[in-house]
Structure 1
């Protein structure tokens, strides 16, 4: 864990917010003391609700390294990852992910907190349902 990587993630998140191309979130992937990739929130610019900083950084790191296993990397994020980004962190096998700003009390993370609560509920109690629809061969 190195403070300079977190400071850099926060710096790029602020720069992104100033450009008004996305929300103030930034993330960097570090391997062996070197930044492998970075990402900023591009939701507004791309009209893509999945264009989160962490997802973009993970995707870029995977392409650069030629693997989906980032277990030898660390992620530094300006904000606490939302459920979608946390899932990607698990899928990429990133064992250590650091964040600067917690989601609780952050007005920009209201939806993330709602989703965390929803995914903890049984499917029948969720507002958005997953419906099994088998197809015969």
Structure 2
């Protein structure tokens, strides 16, 4: 729960910085946090998702064996781009606070435009990755951030 709560904090940081509310933490096989990031797409680069950043960091700093033992904790289920990066780099388990299905429902309720890429479940893109989520209670905090974002803050 500590890492998941940190993901929610990172999502809030992203929101407060003018970004979409997403945050992620990469932990090793012993549960030690190694790297974290938040969404940074307000820069104009729509690929600056935290999950992609974690995959890139892991590829540069970890062995394939140690990458396979990791867990990525994240505020929202990986988009297809991030799920592919996760799979290509060989990271381990994913635990997410809110699902792509939830996000799609929330955006629809808010009248927000759908994302430019279809929000497919992680296991549709990378079927061998163990996945857990959503996390009841914490997902409501993420929903609230999306509501604030699409209600004009």
TM-score above 0.5, yes or no: yes
**Counterpart for residue 125 of structure 1:** none
**Counterpart for residue 14 of structure 2:** 16
Q: Which has the higher helix share?
A: 2
Q: TM-score, normalised by structure 1?
A: 0.72
- Runs of 5+ consecutive residues of structure 1 not aligned to the other structure: 121-137
| Paired residue secondary structure (1:98) | strand
Residues 1:33 and 1:102: Cα distance change in structure 2 (over 3 Å)? same
1:103 equivalent to 2:100? Answer: yes
Residues 1:82 and 1:112: Cα distance change in structure 2 (over 3 Å)? farther
Separation of aligned partners in 2, 1:73 and 1:16: 24
CA contact (8 A) 2:22 2:75 kept: yes
Runs of 4+ residues deviating >4 angstroms: none
| Paired residue secondary structure (1:89) | helix
1:38 to 36, 39, 52: 36
Tell me the matched-pair count.
Answer: 113
Q: TM-score, normalised by structure 2?
A: 0.65
| Paired residue secondary structure (1:106) | helix
Q: CA deviation at 1:102?
A: 1.3
Residues 1:112 and 1:94: Cα distance change in structure 2 (over 3 Å)? farther
| Paired residue secondary structure (1:44) | helix
Tell which has more relative contact order, 1 or 2 (C-alpha 8 A, sep 6+). Answer: 2
Answer with 1 or 2: which has the greater Rg: 1
> Cα RMSD between the aligned structures?
2.4
- Please give the per-residue CA displacement for 1:63-105, whole angstroms capped at 9, x wherever unaligned: 333x456101110010011001111111122231010011221
